[in-house]
Amino acid sequence: MIKKYFAVTLVMLLLLMSVPVSAMAQETLQVNSLNEMATLDVLSGSDRQVVVVYNDKKDNNIQTLALSSEEIIGGQSISSRVDVIEVAADVDIEAFLNELRNQPNVLAADINQTYEKSSLSNDTYIQSGEAWQFTGIGQDETWDQVDNAEAVVVAVLDTGLNTGHPDLIGRTVLGYDYIVGSNHVIDRDRDEGHGTMVSGCIVATANNGIGIAGVAGTANIKVAPFCIGDGDFSDATIVAALMDAADRPDIDVINMSYGGYYTSRTEQTAINYALAKGKILVASSGNEGSDKEAGQYSYPASYDGVISVGATDQNQELAYFSQYNDRVDLVAPGENIVTTEKSGGYTYTDGTSFSAPIVAGACAVLLAENDRLTAIEAENVLKETALDLGQSGKDNDYGYGLLQLDQALEKVKNGGTDMPDDLLDVNYRTHVQNVGWQEYVSNGKMSGTANQGLRLEGLEIQLGDSDYDLGIAYTTHVENIGWQDYVYNGALSGTQDQGLRLEAVRIKLVGADADLFDVYYRVHAQNVGWMGWAKNGADSGTSGLGYRLEGIEIMVVPAGSWVPDNTDSAFLES
């Protein structure tokens, strides 16, 4: 018996010795750094590449995933919050994605999809009338009307920028090239320089006797160039740039002149992250208005919270290529316009790619005039002052109409936004399933998520310091339980880590001075999207439909002074 056991053991040892050591190591190797892996082409469009967005901002987040070299065959760290990894051919990618999404440090994970670019001062082309795009929107009346000390910055997520262009020198701040991982940015576009053309629409130097003037005119507005590709952009670089731009306090507006006809969990996560940080997001509606995709939703333009911009021609008619749908908010010139190109000269070009930055630049002008404007307020001013074209009221072709910057600026100058002079700070946070407590946000910013399948479980609200006798009370409707008792001033309403989601909320002010203010709030509900604004204790959300809440925005304003936006359909019940 002993001899037999010894013989079997000897055979096993000999077999193990015949296996190469490298092969044995590969079977159990855990990936601790993507620097050890094969580098990827993140613009290849491979359906085996996965974008991972992390909750934590740190180096080597990949270690928290505990992945092996059998599962992934390559990878690249795009930023401290975003990695892209290539999954081995024999791994079930859907199961792999589901496992990633359940990891505590993963905010979102999805396939790495690709997108395509959406292609009167004394300045030469302005004087000649060739740069017609600014007269139709009233910029010829506003170019020298704003003189702000602190710069308003527009992040341009595109192919980069020729920072040495004579009409753009001094009009930029630090950006980043996600293709090579460097602060030194060039325009990587294979053609005339998409990023340089987009940036020129915003900040080409006004009144310098050459070229054109951007919509910013002489206002202190600059662009931060983010290179996310050479004309083809990937989810990985888009998400990294969006989140980095959102984290920068000097950036106020983000322009996105690209799109694709599909949604992405990771891009949606980054969009919501930027919105929660209070950024104004502007995107081109798409150039397929006469193609097979006509009328379809292009993203990122069609995400909630993004200003979707279509294009008009010189006759103020919809450009033949401009994408149309019920998500279009505004239109701006986009056919046969003149702008800067990467060679250092100028070019004529077409596309909603160039309508979007005109609107983004207009938003920056309004912020330069009044830095207290919120993203919602700036958007509403542009919509209220737009020139109504097409069908009366909002329509699918023109949205609310053609941008009229002179009227919008006049409204802001005269306090016509109805923005209250005594806006009270309200701070709030939400507990999100599988994520936990979010950071506190304030005054109309979003807490929670949207379109990620992650529901709210708890809510805490508190008012900032003031001289008023004022407090805040709130209650939540919890699935399978119903309405909770009111709680006050920072206490938890709802549950935490019990798998019970919120379905509706009521919020009201209390105290001797409660009648001096209104509290407005709206929620993002599963299968519904953003609902209308409720006010002063009214129901917001749903009842009897099984729809859970995903996000919330709250504002406190002087009584009767101001309404944030639409107040219809704040509550739905079966």
Tokens of 122: 């004394």
Tokens of 193: 């320089």
Question: Which parts of the chain sit beneath pLDDT 70?
Answer: 1-28, 118-132, 415-422, 451
Tokens of 473: 């009370």
d(CA 490, CA 409): 38
CB 49 within 8 A of CB 40: yes
User: Which string of DSSP letters, residue by residue, matches 463-488?
Assistant: EPP-SS--EEEEEEEETTTEEPPPEE
Cα separations in angstroms, 529 against 242, 277, 350, 446, 476: 22, 19, 33, 13, 18
Predicted confidence at residue 420, as pLDDT, reads 52
Closest CA to 304 of 5, 550, 559: 550
Q: Which amino acid is at 398?
A: Y
Give the sheet arrangement for strand 232-234, strand by strand.
232-234, 114-117, 258-259
Predicted confidence at residue 2, as pLDDT, reads 42
Q: In degrees, to the nearest 5, what angle opens at C-alpha 552 toward C-alphas 384 and 504?
A: 115
Predicted confidence at residue 97, as pLDDT, reads 92
Predicted confidence at residue 25, as pLDDT, reads 40
Predicted confidence at residue 20, as pLDDT, reads 45
Q: Which amino acid is at 343?
A: S
Other beta carbons within 10 angstroms of residue 155's beta carbon come to 29
Strands 251-256, 152-158: pairing kind: parallel
The residues assigned a catalytic role are: 158, 194, 353
* Whether residue 564 has a cis bond before it, omega within 30° of 0: no
What is the per-residue pLDDT across 239-274, written as a single tens digit (0 to 9) for each? 999 999 999 999 999 999 999 998 898 998 899 889
What is the per-residue pLDDT across 166-216, written as a single tens digit (0 to 9) for each? 999 999 999 999 999 999 999 999 888 999 999 999 999 888 887 888 999
- The structure's pTM equals 0.75
Predicted confidence at residue 397, as pLDDT, reads 95
